[in-house]
Amino acid sequence: DAGVTQSPTHLIKTRGQQVTLRCSPKSGHDTVSWYQQALGQGPQFIFQYYEEEERQRGNFPDRFSGHQFPNYSSELNVNALLLGDSALYLCASSLGGSSSYEQYFGPGTRLTVT
Amino acid sequence: AQSVSQHNHHVILSEAASLELGCNYSYGGTVNLFWYVQYPGQHLQLLLKYFSGDPLVKGIKGFEAEFIKSKFSFNLRKPSVQWSDTAEYFCAVSTDSWGKLQFGAGTQVVVTP
């Protein structure tokens, strides 16, 4: 049973560019949440997708957008990259997006913006 | 604004010592509380969680945590640590029904042999 997978593992981009990160949820899960973890900090909630719609969003600008596909996989897009976007991006999946169910985290994508 | 505070950023202790990590949150309503752990090179994984009922919850690997509502605290404890407990520990709070997690900054724990 595959857990949460993310791709790519590492990514280096230049300021102003755009990036797409991908996430496949744990088998049987239908909800995907994205988090940004800057160095030395805890993960910060970006948004959550359920039934292919953004259900809730954290305090991130519109440069951060996402998508969920019918197979429940998800993408995180960041436009007009800033140096401050350098971070580990974590995807977490759960069932039904309820707090009653454990969220399973992927290994993350390390994004470096130069 | 809601916040989650972890008292220590780094803790170094010897094997067999007892561990207690503090976590406080600022939210007056109903909360679900979690401790996650990230071992070196591994994913974040759930250690334990509290939703309701007995305020003393037990998790994996001998960890336990106590919810004290009056103190807005959810401290993590382990009576006797092992070298394999070296990891970063995160306290997290969920205040809605959809499971959005708000994390503390984390505590890096190093257990020396």
Q: What is the pLDDT of residues A18-37, one digit of tens each?
A: 999 999 999 999 999 999 99
B98 with A107: Cβ contact below 8 A = no
Of B99, B101, B104, the CB nearest to A98: B99
List pLDDT tens digits, range A71-96. Answer: 999 999 999 999 999 999 999 999 87
The mean pLDDT of B66-92, rounded to a whole number, is 96
Question: With an 8 Å Cβ cutoff, is A106 touching chain B?
Answer: yes
- For residue A68, pLDDT beyond 90: yes
pLDDT of the residue at B83 = 96
* Distances in whole angstroms, Cα of residue A104 to Cα of each of A20, B7, B91: 21, 25, 15
User: CA-to-CA distance for A15 and A30, rounded, in angstroms?
Assistant: 33
Give chain A positions within 8 Å (CB) of B106.
41-42
- For residue A1, pLDDT beyond 70: no
Beta-bridge partners for A36: A44, A89
User: CA-to-CA distance for B91 and B26, rounded, in angstroms?
Assistant: 13
The count of other CB atoms within 10 Å of the CB of residue A52 is 12
What is the H or E stretch that residue A76 is in?
strand A74-78
A13–chain B nearest CA distance, Å? 23
User: CA-to-CA distance for A14 and A80, rounded, in angstroms?
Assistant: 9
- For residue A99, pLDDT beyond 80: no
**SS3 assignment, position B60:** helix
Q: Nearest 5°: phi and psi at A84? A: -70, -5
- For residue B1, pLDDT beyond 80: no
Query: Is the peptide bond preceding residue A107 cis, with omega within 30 degrees of 0?
Result: no
A103–chain B nearest CA distance, Å? 8
Of A40, A43, A99, the CB nearest to B96: A99
